[in-house]
Amino acid sequence: MRQHAGVLNRTWLLILGILALAGGVLTLLAANGTLHAMSPAMPAAESPVVTGDLHTVFEPAYVTAIVLVAGVLIGALGLSWILAQIPRRNPADTYRLHQDPASGTTLCDAAALASAVENQINTLPGVVGSSALLRGTAMEPDLTMKITVNNRADIQDVLHRINTTVIPDLSTALETPLRRTGIQIEISGRNALAGTTVATTGTVIY
């Protein structure tokens, strides 16, 4: 029911992978002398990477300031990446169902719609409890559901009823198809809210 930073992670890993690949290629070209052959201004393979005294290089105040700013920037980026790993619900607030003010504006609380979805799901046979969360906009809504059923429920029947009844009803209320739908199902030993049909077993004695 919570959103993770999957897209952000893939983007940063792609950037870091490209930088590491570029650094590796440059190191390989410098080591075998190809870089020096392409540009004589580049140091030869047997030359040291840094010539001169490092204390002299870092002595000017502006060099220290540049290193400090770069360190703070890298630290801030790392901290923001770590904070982005915290799962977030990111629920929708209020849906504006009609965009043209001339024809009237209809506002609908996304939490109220989610509650209606939960109430409808809880009436299905075998369902113990449910929670629904709406994200996105009224034009591109996303629905995530967490459904708990008892251990005798027909899961395929529950999914069929959700896909043929609950989701179409929500799409009708929003007057637009859902962009994405996620369903998480858990099994519980509790009794269903609306009961479930279970085949009888054993011997019946009259």
Q: What is the DSSP string of 77-89?
A: HHHHHHHHTS-B-
Structure tokens at 69: 């700013």
Q: Is residue 132 part of a domain?
A: yes
Residue 187's identity, in one-letter code, is: I
Q: Which residue, chain included where needed, has tokens 């290089």?
A: 57
The CA distance from 61 to 39, in Å, is 31
What token pair was written down for 167?
């989701």
Query: Helix, strand or coil for residue 45?
Result: coil
- Based on the fold, state whether residues 45 and 106 are members of the same structural domain: no
Those residues whose C-beta lies under 8 Å from the C-beta of residue 104, and which sit 6 or more positions away, are: 98
Q: Which of 39, 63, 84 lies at the terminal end of a domain, its last residue?
A: 84
Q: Find, among 102, 180, 100, the residue nearest to 135 by Cα.
A: 180
d(CA 179, CA 141): 6
pTM to 2 decimal places:
0.57
- pLDDT, residue 205, reads 41
Q: Domain limits at 156?
A: 94-188
- H/E segment holding residue 146: strand 141-150
Domain boundary pick from 30, 57, 84: 84
Rounded CA-CA distance 76/69 in Å is 10
Interatomic CA distance for residues 202 and 195, integer angstroms: 21
In this structure, the answer to whether residues 130 and 72 fall within a common structural domain is no
pLDDT value, residue 202: 40
Mean pLDDT, the chain cut into blocks of 10 residues (206 residues total):
71 89 86 77 69 71 86 90 78 72 73 91 92 87 91 90 93 88 86 52 40
Same-domain status, 103 and 184:
yes
Tell me: do 80 and 102 sit in the same domain: no
Looking at the structure, tell me whether residues 80 and 99 fall in a common domain: no
Q: 38 in a domain, yes or no?
A: yes
Residues 137 and 70 in one domain: no
**Count of domains forming the chain:** 2
- Give exposure, 90-112, as e/b (b: 16+ Cβ within 10 Å): eebeebebeeeeeeeeeebebee
Whether 70 and 155 share a structural domain:
no
Same domain, yes or no, for 112 and 168?
Answer: yes
Percent with pLDDT over 70 in the chain: 80
- Looking up tokens 């959103």 gives 3
Q: What is the tens place of the pLDDT at every residue in 9-31?
A: 888 888 989 999 998 888 888 77
Please report the pLDDT score of residue 197 as a whole number: 45
